[in-house]
Amino acid sequence: MIGRLVGRIVVEEPDGSVVLDVNGVGYELATPIGAVGRARAGDSDDSVVLFVHTHVREQSFELFGFASQVERGVFRLLLGVPNVGPKTALNVLSALPPPELSRAVHAGDLPRLNKIPGIGKKSAERLVLELKEKLPRVAQTAEPGSTPHGTRDTAQRLTAALTNMGYRPAEADKAIKTLGADDIAELSLTELLRKALAYLAS
6-21, pLDDT tens digit by residue?
999 999 887 778 999 9
Tell me the CATH number at 132.
1.10.150.20
141-160 average pLDDT score: 53
Does residue 144 form part of some domain?
Answer: no
Query: Are residue 45 and residue 75 in the same domain, yes or no?
Result: no
pLDDT at position 150:
33
Does residue 100 form part of some domain?
Answer: yes
pLDDT at position 182:
63
132-142 average pLDDT score: 67
182-191 average pLDDT score: 73
Q: What is the pLDDT of residues 65-109, one digit of tens each?
A: 999 888 999 999 999 999 899 999 999 999 988 888 988 998 999
Please tell me the pTM assigned to this model. 0.67
| Pair 178, 199: CB distance under 8 Å | yes
Query: Are residue 78 and residue 54 in the same domain, yes or no?
Result: no
Domain boundary among 66, 91, 116: 66
pLDDT band at 1; cut points 50, 70, 90: confident
pLDDT band at 127; cut points 50, 70, 90: very high
Tell me the CATH number at 158.
1.10.8
Task: Examine the pLDDT at 136 and tell me if it is beyond 90.
Answer: no
Task: Examine the pLDDT at 43 and tell me if it is beyond 80.
Answer: no
Total domain count for the chain?
A: 3
pLDDT band at 140; cut points 50, 70, 90: low
Does residue 168 form part of some domain?
Answer: yes
Task: Examine the pLDDT at 179 and tell me if it is beyond 90.
Answer: no
- Range of the structural domain that residue 56 is part of: 4-66
Q: What is the mean pLDDT of the chain?
A: 83
Does residue 78 form part of some domain?
Answer: yes
Task: Examine the pLDDT at 35 and tell me if it is beyond 90.
Answer: no
pLDDT at position 25:
95
Report the percent of the chain where pLDDT is more than 70: 87
